[in-house]
Amino acid sequence: MSKLHRSAPERGHEDPSGIGRFVNKGQIPRLGGPGTSAPEAWFLGMKAENADEFERLIVEAIRDQAFWRRNFHPDDPTVISEATKRRPDYVHAIDTLKDSYRSLLALLKKSVPFFSMRYQGHMNWDTAMPAVLGYFAAMLYNPNNVAFEGSTATTLLEILVGDDLCRMLGYAIPDKAAHERGAVRPWGHITSGGTVANIEALWSARNLKLYPVAVQAALREEASLAAAKDFRISAHGRAKVPLLTLDAWSLMNLEVDEILAIPSRLTAEHGVAPGILTEVMSRYSPQSLGMHEFFRRFCGALGGPPVVLVPATKHYSFPKGAAILGIGAANIIDVPLDEDARMSIPALRKILKACLAERRPVYSVVAVIGSTEESAVDPLADILELRQEMRAAGLDFTVHADAAWGGYHVCVLRDDEGGAEPFDREAKQESEVGLGRHAVRHYTALSSADSITVDPHKSGYIPYPAGALCYRNGAMRDLVTFKAPYIVHDDAEPAVGIYGLEGSKPGAAVAAVYLAHKVIRPTKRGYGKIHRKSLFNCKRVYARLLCMAKPEDHFVVVPVPRLPAETAGSSAEEQIQFIRDRIDRKRDEELLADAQAMALLPELGPDVNILCYAFNFKHADGRLNASLDKANRLNKAIYEVLSIKPGEDVASHDLIVSTTDFEQAHYGKAFLDSYKRRLGVGGSEGNTVTVLRSTVLNPWLTEDEEDSFLDMLEAEFREAISRAMLRDSVGQVFEEIDANKDGRLEWAEIDARLRALGHREEEIAKFFRTSDITSDGYLSKSEFLEHFSQFLVHSSLGR
């Protein structure tokens, strides 16, 4: 791994990123070493506790920018003179700027309070102070990382950051000597987000699958490749055979590294010049011919169009990418989930065997490492083992890990670099917990995935836009290269922007990741510490939700993640009682001192730190509601209470969560039936379950005698449930009154219904007038819900 140096390297292997040839000695930026270990210094703070230091550093960036401008050819003329600054139009322009700027500042206060412990809605929390400072400082230079000439500093940083992300995810960076001996070198780069990274992963997987087919066609038809007609390759691990003798099915099931070695082997073994090969292959690639023509000419004997296999928890970028790339969204095949919302290995095996029997190629199998709804980690190690099984039968494919959300959680497992940091705190137990056994096993397998998406702007606490794609074998990047002559002038320039989907992209995003990684290393001491703390808090929220409802309460709450006892087939009630007695409502120090409770804590709740759950209500006689439709209505009503609507004052919300739906068509029957049964609606018709979602990225949720976040959370949920149940009851009254089912109430409908209930004509008329906010002569459902409960309180029947 790279080390933190203060001087230029003396040996080539100490500059593994190879950027030393582009900068003067002594000026090589570095990523590595111990970093720092004080999370309190990494964020502005929920109450802006670090505002003074943050302000000083922001001002320093502005002053440094001014110094740079004044000293770049200092003899150049000044454009804005002091006399200019006294002109009326100049003064007016500055005044307008100030007024408009302050208006913008006021408007921005309507933004979502991501920094607050009360915000649990989406995959966002406070941004790390080093990341914001890095972004701000670089933004003043406005670098464009599309090419080196527009980003002479931040392109170098992107190379460093790409390597650092590769190391974080488990891809080892070989030194120069090992690379020259044939060691595979990984490569990574920054994208605008996980969507682009996933599309690039599909793009490279598609091109990889089709490359041997294109090479075979070129060898048959091109005189310039005559010397290579006997080129031989290993198919399915067997002895090498002439590539020209393989059929399309065999060509589309070669191993990844065998395919990626073809260009260099053609040069080394048959003397084919790289420039000639590139020029020839451009006439045979699907990128030139288009998918329809490519398959018409070269792939007629296949049993069907190639597919991509994804879990039902897939991100929308996969069908979108398939549509863009000509793969076809219909060829993105959902693999059903198991009861824990993870890809089902038996279901995957069944689909792969069907593809093998039909001779239908598989571009890629995608494992989600931290799904964005359920926070589930797919069984990556098992997927990789299954690939080995399928390879032996003649079916091969890439394995892509979509770790956009969960990628940085691997830092919990990454050893620190460079020895002890000199200011480590005194050894003591902190409110932290690691990953569960399932997650550890499959995070450990990341190093064997062919490509990995990770989003620094999610669990890396870095400002948007900052996603990333890393390849296990960096040669995969060459499969998606379009070299525009006006962008890249010389191979001697360091190039990053040519290896991806995007053109212009902000170098400031790269600087944000660089400075964050410089201060907060992606190891146990750095990001690992943040995630151990936030995982601890997520597990505590899970325990509180699990134990929140008492026998006398008129509701139950059921988290989506099953208990370890449930997965093991033992008593759930016993384990719930243990959690109630030994984990929930315990102060942090009490919990940390309980070895048995701390051993269970990592196994509770989601694999990483998004928690889904749903409420159900009890009837007056204590029976649990058995209707899925009514349970969904309750959870939607709770969400309405705990979400921000257009025009509302953000500060009026004491807790903010989000919602999602689990649909059997995507998730599969096993998962949905299991959760419906646990929610108490197993016998009810319906294939969609509405749940609530809390994202716990905050490492500082307090839990002591004076300040209990969990008690606040419970109080807000209880209030929301009461309001939601009242709102749902009023909603049912609306539906009963709405005789013609047009979603709005006419005067005649309201008058007839309320008169039948004994209300006076004048109070009905007053209710209608005050509720008709839009003055359109009708009451919408929202208008009715807003005013009806108050009408009942103040009406003659309510007094």
pLDDT in tens, 307-339: 999 999 999 999 999 999 999 999 999 999 999
Amino acid identity of 149?
A: E
Q: Residue 13: is its pLDDT beyond 50? A: no
Residues 6+ apart with CB under 8 A from 170: 410, 444, 446, 447
Q: What is the tens place of the pLDDT at every residue in 161-195?
A: 999 999 999 999 998 888 888 889 999 999 999 99
Categorize the per-residue pLDDT at 734 as very low, low, confident or very high, splitting at 50, 70 and 90.
confident
Q: What is the pLDDT of residue 492?
A: 57
Categorize the per-residue pLDDT at 796 as very low, low, confident or very high, splitting at 50, 70 and 90.
low
Sign, CA dihedral 236-239-240-245, equals: negative
Q: What is the tens place of the pLDDT at every residue in 126-158?
A: 999 999 999 999 999 999 988 888 888 999 999
Query: What element of type H or E holds 734?
Result: helix 709-737
Q: What is the pLDDT of residue 664?
A: 93
Q: What is the tens place of the pLDDT at every residue in 334-363?
A: 999 999 999 999 999 999 999 999 999 999
Categorize the per-residue pLDDT at 793 as very low, low, confident or very high, splitting at 50, 70 and 90.
low
Q: Residue 797: is its pLDDT beyond 60? A: no
Q: Residue 9: is its pLDDT beyond 80? A: no
Q: Which residues pair with 612 in a beta bridge?
A: 693
DSSP letters spanning 580-595: HHHTTT--HHHHHT-H
Q: What is the tens place of the pLDDT at every residue in 397-433?
A: 999 999 999 999 999 999 998 766 555 555 567 899 9
Q: What is the tens place of the pLDDT at every residue in 393-405?
A: 999 999 999 999 9
Whole-angstrom distance, CA of residue 638 vs CA of residue 718: 10
Mean pLDDT for 703-724 is 85
Q: Residue 28: is its pLDDT beyond 90? A: no
Indicate the average pLDDT of the chain.
89
Q: Residue 14: is its pLDDT beyond 80? A: no
Q: What is the pLDDT of residue 240?
A: 92
* 265 to 260, 479, 480: CA distances (angstroms): 9, 16, 20
Q: Residue 2: is its pLDDT beyond 60? A: no
Percentage of the chain exceeding pLDDT 90: 69
Q: Residue 376: is its pLDDT beyond 70? A: yes
Q: Residue 21: is its pLDDT beyond 90? A: no
Whole-angstrom distance, CA of residue 545 vs CA of residue 559: 7
Q: What is the pLDDT of residue 155?
A: 92
Q: What is the pLDDT of residue 484?
A: 41
C-alpha dihedral, 637 to 641 to 643 to 644, nearest 10° = 120
End-to-end CA distance of the chain: 76
Mean pLDDT for 578-601 is 95
Q: What is the tens place of the pLDDT at every residue in 258-267?
A: 999 999 999 9
Mean pLDDT for 542-549 is 96
User: Which phi and psi angles does 675 have, rounded to 5°?
Assistant: -70, -40
Identify which has the larger pLDDT, 89 or 776. 89
Q: Residue 25: is its pLDDT beyond 60? A: no
The 10 Å Cβ neighbour count of residue 422 is 7
Token duo for residue 425 = 């705190």
Q: Residue 740: is its pLDDT beyond 60? A: yes
Mean pLDDT for 761-777 is 87
Q: What is the tens place of the pLDDT at every residue in 611-667?
A: 999 999 998 889 999 999 999 999 999 999 999 888 788 888 889 999 999 999 989
Residues 6+ apart with CB under 8 A from 598: 433, 591, 592
Residues 6+ apart with CB under 8 A from 183: 174
Q: Residue 794: is its pLDDT beyond 70? A: no
Phi-psi region of 729 (alpha: psi -120 to 50; beta: other; left: phi over 0): alpha
**Structure letter (DSSP) for residue 408:** G
Q: What is the tens place of the pLDDT at every residue in 473-530?
A: 999 999 988 654 333 444 556 778 889 899 899 999 999 999 999 999 999 999 999 9
Mean pLDDT for 102-115 is 92
Q: What is the pLDDT of residue 462?
A: 97
